[in-house]
């Protein structure tokens, strides 16, 4: 049996992550080229259905999987995915686009599951799952299309995600000043059921006081409206600049994507679209701090204001 195009076609094995480039990340629309279109609802190819189930955890009734050569749509990972539209070019402005695809979910299939999130040109495919308007003909392979994300949703999720990283920066600052003991490393931001930053290691101070200190520190980081910058460093460069890195043996990434605060402070790895200044994050509230002795982690629950400042 010949290999299935989902596994065999080289054009379906990589999507260029436009959402990771600071110059492109905040565009709300861009042109892209379709590389694959697969029906995945009832009666569809079993292999496609199985792939969709494995990646998304479900298969929608009338869904299609669309793969492009590049994408502005950030897939769900540490940050919830972008939603929006992919549409064909307008034939005439009066006519409007003749095919509209509504993106309902976006995921990425990584080839290096754990640390690809931090790479810049990481391998992997971004899958857009959604539906075509009932009377519209699905895209053709190689067709030029426009991708359009919902900018408000992007902003909310970027603020949420950035807040998690900045809480970790606040903890690091307090630790460096000797105001918090316990050497904590940033493990990640979890969204469910509540927003939680997980730090590897245990705080060994009175929790109530630590919570107040972290709240004060994060307030300061945000009120100073510090610029956030994206750098691309290889392993050695990142190591020399004091970035906390996963074991080298666990990643094949050439260039790491590192976010810094002005003056190279608060260095950390991140693969999500990022806000330009800390002030954009708005009010962050530290809600709960718990130390888990068995797992040797500290979890900080937080919330952000719904509206951007
Ligand atoms: Zn991140």
Q: Name the burial class of residue 172, with classes exposed (0-12), middle (13-18) and buried (19+) by CB atoms within 10 angstroms of its CB.
A: buried
Domains and CATH numbers, the chain: 5-149 (2.40.30.130), 155-304 (3.30.980.10)
pLDDT per residue of the chain (309 residues) written in tens, 0 to 9: 566 666 666 667 788 888 887 655 667 889 999 999 999 988 899 989 998 998 899 988 889 999 999 999 999 887 889 999 999 976 666 666 689 999 999 998 765 444 445 555 566 789 999 999 988 899 999 999 999 999 999 999 999 999 998 998 898 888 888 877 766 777 777 766 789 998 888 876 566 788 999 999 999 999 999 998 888 888 888 888 877 776 665 556 677 788 888 866 667 788 888 888 999 999 999 999 988 889 888 899 999 998 878
21 Cα: distance to centroid of ligand 1 (angstroms): 14
Q: Taking Cα atoms as reference points, which of 215, 182, 197 lies closest to residue 270?
A: 197
CA of 187 to the centre of ligand 1 (A): 10
Instruction: Note the pTM of the prediction, 2 decimals.
Output: 0.86
Ligand 1 centroid to Cα of residue 78, in Å, is 6
- Cis peptide bond upstream of 291, omega within 30: no
Taking alpha carbons only, the member of 167, 176, 169 closest to residue 299 is 167
Longest dimension (CA), the chain: 66
Per DSSP bridges, beta strands 100-110 and 64-68 are: unpaired
5 CA distance to ligand 1 middle (Å): 32
* CA of residue 161 to ligand 1 center, whole Å: 6
For residues 44 and 79, give the distance between their C-alpha atoms in angstroms, rounded to a whole number. 30
Distance CA(111)–CA(248), nearest Å, equals 16
Q: How far is the CA of 126 from the centre of ligand 1 (A)?
A: 17
Chain centroid, CA 10 distance in Å = 24
């Amino acid at each position: 049996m010949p290999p299935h195009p989902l596994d065999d076609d080289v054009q379906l094995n990589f999507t260029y992550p436009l959402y990771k480039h600071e110059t492109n990340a905040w565009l709300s629309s861009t042109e892209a080229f379709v590389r694959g279109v697969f029906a995945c609802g009832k009666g569809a190819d079993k292999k496609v259905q199985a792939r969709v189930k494995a990646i998304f955890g479900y298969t929608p009734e009338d869904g299609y999987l669309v793969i492009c050569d590049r994408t502005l749509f950030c897939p769900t990972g540490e940050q919830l995915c972008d939603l929006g539209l992919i549409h064909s070019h307008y034939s005439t402005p009066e006519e409007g686009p003749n095919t509209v695809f509504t993106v309902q979910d976006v995921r990425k299939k990584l080839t290096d599951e754990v640390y690809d999130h931090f790479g810049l040109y990481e391998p992997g495919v971004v899958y857009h799952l959604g539906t075509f308007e009932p009377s519209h003909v699905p895209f053709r392979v190689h067709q030029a299309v426009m991708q359009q994300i919902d900018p408000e949703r992007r902003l909310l999720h970027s603020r949420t995600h950035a807040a998690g990283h900045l809480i970790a920066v606040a903890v690091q600052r307090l630790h460096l000043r000797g105001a918090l003991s316990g050497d904590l490393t940033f493990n990640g931001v979890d969204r469910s059921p509540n927003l939680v930053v997980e730090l590897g290691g245990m705080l060994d101070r009175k929790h109530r006081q630590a919570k107040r200190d972290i709240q004060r520190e994060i307030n300061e980081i945000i009120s100073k409206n510090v610029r956030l910058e994206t750098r691309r460093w290889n392993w050695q460069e990142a190591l020399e600049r004091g970035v906390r890195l996963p074991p080298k043996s666990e990643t094949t990434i050439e260039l790491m994507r590192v976010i810094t605060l002005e003056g190279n402070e608060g260095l950390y790895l991140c693969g999500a679209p990022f806000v330009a200044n800390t002030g954009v994050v708005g009010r962050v509230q530290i809600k709960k701090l718990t130390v888990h002795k068995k797992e040797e982690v500290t979890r900080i629950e937080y919330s952000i204001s719904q509206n951007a400042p």
